Amino acid sequence: MTTKQSIELCDLYREIISNVGMVADDDGFVSTQIAGSEKKPTLIKGKRLVLPTPEQLRTASAENSTIFHPLLENMMRGESDVVATFRNHFNKRLNFSIAYLMTSLLSLAIETNKHSKLSPEQSQFLSIVKEADEKTYSALEEISKKMMLDSSEESFIHTFVKKGGVVNQKKHSRVCVVSFPFYDELVKEPEARKPLTVMGVRLRKADRECLLGLIKFIIPDIDKPQTYWGISNSIIAPTMDCLVRTMSLIGTRINDVALTYSDFIEGVEHVMYDLDSLTIFDDLDSIYTQIKSIPMQLGNEGSIPQTAATTAVQGSTPPIGAMAPAPTTQVTSTPPWEAPQQTTLTSWNNPMNHNPMYPGQTQLPMIANQSSGGGVDVNQFFQRTPGLSMFGFQQQQPMMTNNQPVWARPFQSQSFGTNPNQSSIFGDIFV
């Protein structure tokens, strides 16, 4: 049964990591890969990340491997190396998805010849970006080049996990705090008589309005970021639980947008999230025995705060509260926000459903030999870009190909769009 249980847990892990740009081969070796790019081994402090398959548990060397088992969490500790790596990938993948959707929709807005093909529902966003032109697109492209993919300052979105976070005056075991640095900078009122710049890129007033409208369209309630804060009071793996809840909250919205415009966005499946498997987080108790069947693995045990032990010991006098617990990190200055929507994972509106289908399609879109509505052969993209990788970086850095940010190298589409000089959003991202 252990073997069976281990395999089941491994299956869950496979599905979870697939949402953050990781894939695992049959032997359990995890690689970083997004949008069909070249796989790169996922390393944690130089050690290969592997799934806890029975074989890996028997043979993986602690010197060379780190076993992925974040559902066994020591509640006393901080973020583990494994969860930190997972969250790093999570942030990168989220930024990729948002960047992809923004550039795609902006491109669609500029390509007026396609507007007649849009349904009334699909056309709604056009009024938001009616002022957009190629300069707006160039500005977004320029901003995207500067975006760090896992940064609290230069990114579309950033997440981190807080212990004992307070939301709506209520303390929670773990809170996945979500911020939108790009939006935060964009929404600031421009200073009078000063050029308007966002992330160091000069914008026209119309550009600002378009980009603001666009990101608010993709992420409704972006001005209330706590809407997307995943909170967890689970007694099993609360850190992963809150991350997964944020993944579902934002992933649901990304899926909505992606599916709505799937006829007009190439490779849209690469930005989407498979949220079905995550419903198990509503009932982690049911797999607790399976979780415990795999012992704690090095790299998952959690960090300890740098000063916590010292503070705790020297903090006060016993016996009562003799050793005050390590300082609780609370969002105590947080105003009494509205409570995040407390939805269960099973109740989420998951447009992927179990077998996500795109409008007019009878099977999942495939990269190979698929031709998009825009006439671009997606397969060509990936044949042309074997080295594509957004996630293979161990250190934060923008997506680079041949020492250039991938955003910087326009793709010359032969059949996408009517303006041959207009760079394709696909090219910008994938090439």
Partner 1 sequence: MNNFNLNFGTKIRIIKFELVPAGIYNDQYYRPYESFIDPMLMREVESRINTPNGQVNLQNSSNILNGIAGSIVHPQAAPGSKIVIPNGWDTSRWAFKMEIEINSSTNHKAVHLVQGYSEYAESSYSGLPDPNVVFHINSVTQLRTIVRNTPYGVNEEVYVDSSDHVLINHSWDGVWQDVNQNRQLVNVRPQDIYTHLVVPEYAQNGDIYNIASTYSRQPMLSRRSNNLSTDYLGKIISSYQGAVNQPIDGSSDTIMQTAAGLVSENLLSRDKFIRALSNFITDTTTPTSFTLRDISRFDPSFNPSTDDRLVIYKEDNTQQLDYRNYSSDWGGSTLETQTAAVISSTLPSIMMKFGVSKVSIIATNQEFGGPKIVWADIQGFGGVDVTRFIPQINAAIQSEIFDFVSQQNQLSYYVEVSHTFTLDMQMSVSINGNPAIPFVNPTFADASFTPIISDQTDRLQSMAFDMNNLLNYTTEQASGFNSYQPTHTNFEI
Question: Which residues of this protein are in contact with partner 1, per CB under 8 A?
Answer: 1-3, 5, 54, 57-63, 67, 73-78, 163-164, 171-173, 233, 235-236, 288-289, 292-298, 301, 304-310, 312-326, 328-329
CB of 308 to partner 1, least distance (A): 6
The token duo for 366 is 């495939």
By beta-carbon proximity to partner 1, the closer residue of 307 and 380 is 307
Task: Tell me the one-letter amino acid at 427.
Answer: G
CB of 340 to partner 1, least distance (A): 17
DSSP secondary structure letter of residue 189 = P
3-state SS track over 292-324: HHCCCCCCCCCCCCCCHHHHHHHCCCCCCCCCC
By beta-carbon proximity to partner 1, the closer residue of 64 and 344 is 64
**Helix, strand or coil for residue 232?**
strand
Partnered with residue 166 across adjacent β-strands are 171
How far apart are the C-alpha atoms of 204 and 181, rounded to whole Å? 19
CB of 307 to partner 1, least distance (A): 8
The token duo for 426 is 């696909």
CB of 338 to partner 1, least distance (A): 21
By beta-carbon proximity to partner 1, the closer residue of 201 and 323 is 323
By beta-carbon proximity to partner 1, the closer residue of 314 and 395 is 314
How far apart are the C-alpha atoms of 15 and 240, rounded to whole Å? 14
Q: Let me know: does 82 contact 68? Beta carbons within 8 Å.
A: yes
**Spacing of C-alpha 150 from chain mean position:** 9
By beta-carbon proximity to partner 1, the closer residue of 310 and 397 is 310
CB of 30 to partner 1, least distance (A): 16
By beta-carbon proximity to partner 1, the closer residue of 62 and 339 is 62
CB of 57 to partner 1, least distance (A): 5
**Burial letters for 280-293: b for 16+ Cβ neighbours within 10 Å, e otherwise?**
bbbebeebeebbeb
- Per DSSP bridges, beta strands 166-167 and 170-171 are antiparallel
By beta-carbon proximity to partner 1, the closer residue of 187 and 312 is 312
CB of 335 to partner 1, least distance (A): 21
* Residue labelled with tokens 């617990």: 325
- The vertex-291 CA angle with 287 and 292, nearest 5°, equals 120
